[in-house]
């Protein structure tokens, strides 16, 4: 079963699984089935041997009024699904998690080595001091690739709900002897990405601006580092997780990333160049829930799942700009 099967990522997961010869049962709000609905789950789960749980409310959110929806869809929905999987004795789960659970990424301080800065302050952001500093000495620190064992530090409602999903999946695995893999997607982009909504990803927002003939507005100074991973690679990562050896009774997390980070400004410039402008506008603005840099280490997924991203940044952005 693929939950969220008609969504941006879920629809690509379904295609990859079916192309590999798997029989897929889909569950999606768009087709009238809600992951929070026990009756729908009891109707669809018999015969299923693994669930790839993609259904979620996504995006940073607008304000605290979004809290109930994130808790209902992402947290309660996952709890209902896991309880139904236990009822039907389904023992394998692949969970769509997110890099947002890390909060700020890893940094290297010349004096103190690997450090994790806390949230940036409003006065610093207003003064254009965007780069985090070492939390111990206050000196500049350089961003570094973050691994799956880094302590979580969620900074917004979406991040908190995704981390809670992981905790629930780990509870389920321990209590049932099932196996769970949490795929921590980094900045996913590609065909069918939602657009023209405050919950859309930054790549979709930039593309919509360009389609309307407006310059993409880039927050801060545009030098925020991210790992942009193509949705077809994310779907391939799900297939790799499904085929990998499971670890009964535990949850194992994996970064799903390209391994080649770029700045948000570079991404905006690549989209603008493909569409013939206008050029991005760096605004100096900020969103309090954003982090400065989050760069992934894809080593564990490569070693344990045999997954490595295949779609390069340049080719992927060219396709996305026109999709």
Q: State whether 162 and 40 are in the same domain.
A: yes
What is the per-residue pLDDT for 200?
66
Angle at 58 between CA 125 and CA 135, to 5 degrees: 35
Q: State whether 208 and 246 are in the same domain.
A: yes
Under the banding of pLDDT at 50, 70 and 90, the label for residue 197 is low
Instruction: Concatenate the DSSP letters of all residues of 176-215 into one string.
Output: H--EEEEEEE-EEE-TT---SSTTS-HHHHHHHHHHTT--
Burial class (CB in 10 A: 0-12, 13-18, 19+), 256: buried
CA distance 212 to 42: 45
Structure-token pair, residue 277:
């402008």
What is the per-residue pLDDT for 134?
95
Q: State whether 57 and 116 are in the same domain.
A: no
Q: Could you give the C-alpha distances from 185 to 42, 72, 210, 258, 296, in angstroms and in order?
A: 29, 21, 26, 10, 10
Q: State whether 35 and 70 are in the same domain.
A: yes
Contact 158, 57 (CB under 8 A): yes
Residue 26 has pLDDT above 80, yes or no: yes
Q: State whether 126 and 271 are in the same domain.
A: no
Q: State whether 290 and 310 are in the same domain.
A: yes
Q: State whether 79 and 19 are in the same domain.
A: yes
Residue 171 has pLDDT above 60, yes or no: yes
Q: Could you give the C-alpha distances from 74 to 22, 53, 123, 126, in angstroms and in order?
A: 26, 10, 33, 32
* pTM strictly above 0.85: yes
Domain containing 306 equals: 2-105+146-322
Structure-token pair, residue 83:
């309880």
Torsion of CA 69, 195, 260, 5, to 10 degrees: 60
CA distance 238 to 70: 23
Q: State whether 286 and 218 are in the same domain.
A: yes
CATH of the domain at 229: 3.40.50.720
Last residue of one domain, picked from the residues 114, 145, 176: 145
Residue 243 has pLDDT above 90, yes or no: yes
Of the listed ranges 13-17, 57-61, 194-198, 218-222, the one predicted with least confidence? 194-198
- Mean pLDDT, rounded, for 251-265: 96
Return the higher-pLDDT residue of 96 and 201: 96
In DSSP terms, 216 is beta-bridged to none
Taking only the tens place, the pLDDT of each residue in 83-141 is 999 999 999 999 999 999 999 889 999 999 999 998 899 999 999 999 999 999 999 99
Q: State whether 241 and 173 are in the same domain.
A: yes
Q: State whether 80 and 114 are in the same domain.
A: no
What is the per-residue pLDDT for 58?
87
Helix (H, G, I), strand (E, B) or coil at 295: strand
Under the banding of pLDDT at 50, 70 and 90, the label for residue 63 is confident
Last residue of one domain, picked from the residues 95, 125, 145: 145
Q: State whether 131 and 273 are in the same domain.
A: no
Last residue of one domain, picked from the residues 145, 176, 199: 145
Residue 199 has pLDDT above 80, yes or no: no
What is the per-residue pLDDT for 322?
87
Number of domains in the chain: 2
Of all residues in the chain, the percent with pLDDT exceeding 70 is 98
Q: State whether 51 and 136 are in the same domain.
A: no
Each as own residue / partner, the long-range contacts of residues 27-34 (CB below 8 Å, 24 or more positions apart, any chain) are: 27/1, 27/2, 27/3, 27/55, 28/3, 28/4, 28/55, 29/55, 30/6, 31/5, 31/6, 34/77
């Amino acid at each position: 079963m693929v939950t969220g099967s008609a969504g941006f990522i879920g629809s690509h997961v379904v295609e990859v699984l079916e192309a590999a010869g798997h029989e897929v049962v889909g569950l999606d709000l768009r087709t009238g089935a809600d992951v929070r609905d026990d009756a729908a789950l009891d109707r669809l789960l018999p015969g299923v041997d693994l669930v790839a749980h993609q259904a979620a409310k996504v995006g940073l959110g607008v304000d605290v009024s979004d809290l109930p929806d994130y808790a209902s869809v992402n947290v309660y929905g996952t709890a209902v699904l896991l309880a139904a999987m236990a009822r039907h004795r389904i023992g394998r789960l692949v969970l769509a998690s997110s890099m947002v659970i890390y909060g700020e990424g890893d940094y290297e301080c010349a004096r103190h080595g690997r450090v994790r800065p806390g949230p940036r302050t409003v006065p610093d952001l207003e003064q254009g001091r965007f780069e985090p500093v070492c939390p111990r000495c206050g000196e500049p620190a350089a961003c570094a690739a973050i691994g799956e064992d880094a302590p979580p530090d969620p900074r917004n409602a979406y991040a908190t709900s995704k981390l809670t999903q992981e905790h629930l999946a780990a509870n389920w695995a321990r209590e049932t002897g099932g196996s769970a893999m949490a795929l921590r997607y980094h900045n996913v982009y590609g065909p069918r990405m939602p657009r023209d909504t405050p919950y859309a990803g930054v790549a979709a927002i930039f593309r919509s601006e360009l389609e309307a003939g407006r310059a993409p507005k880039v927050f801060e100074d545009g030098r925020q580092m991210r790992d942009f991973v193509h949705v077809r690679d994310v779907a391939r990562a799900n297939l790799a997780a499904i085929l990998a050896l499971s670890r009964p009774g535990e949850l194992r997390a994996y970064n799903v990333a390209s391994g080649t980070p770029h700045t948000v400004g570079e991404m905006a410039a690549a989209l603008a160049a493909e569409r013939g402008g206008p050029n991005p506008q760096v605004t100096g603005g900020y969103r309090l829930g954003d982090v400065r840099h989050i760069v992934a280490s894809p080593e564990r997924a490569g070693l344990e799942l045999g997954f490595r991203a295949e779609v390069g940044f340049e080719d992927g952005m060219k396709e996305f700009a026109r999709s």
